[in-house]
Amino acid sequence: MRAGKFRTGEHALSRSYPEPRFAPGIFASIKTVRIRDHDIMINTFRSATTTAANTTAVGILETAALVCSVDLILATSLIVVHLLQAQTQMILNASASVIANV
């Protein structure tokens, strides 16, 4: 049988394919969509790298929150609110940049 040709009564949607296997570190999500009386399985996944990057971004935000809260105590006692605002903005900009690149 030549490539791209199907037996009589057969088409691409009627073929059965083996259950997909995922390597460790890959989080699989299988979604089934019904099109014209055919169930189509769609594999969506996020790689471990993407997940790690997301986790890193969250970690940066948590660290920024901790730094800001400590600095807020110092700033309140020293009355240097404008410096705190500039530092907070810098941390938020850096965090947003990391999240945008994930």
Residue 33 has pLDDT above 50, yes or no: yes
Model confidence pLDDT, tens digit, residues 20-29: 454 444 445 5
CB-based contact 98:57 (threshold 8 Å): yes
pTM of the entire structure? 0.23
User: Is residue 71 domain-shared with residue 85, that is, in the same domain?
Assistant: yes
Domain membership of residue 84 (yes or no) is yes
C-alpha–C-alpha distance, residues 71 and 63, integer Å? 12
Phi, psi of 3 (to 5 degrees): -60, 140
Domain membership of residue 68 (yes or no) is yes
Quick one: pLDDT at residue 31? 59
Q: What's the structural domain count of the chain?
A: 2
C-alpha–C-alpha distance, residues 30 and 35, integer Å? 16
User: Is residue 57 domain-shared with residue 36, that is, in the same domain?
Assistant: no
C-alpha–C-alpha distance, residues 20 and 35, integer Å? 20
Domain membership of residue 6 (yes or no) is no
Torsion of CA 60, 62, 64, 66, to 10 degrees: -150
Parent domain of 91: 49-100
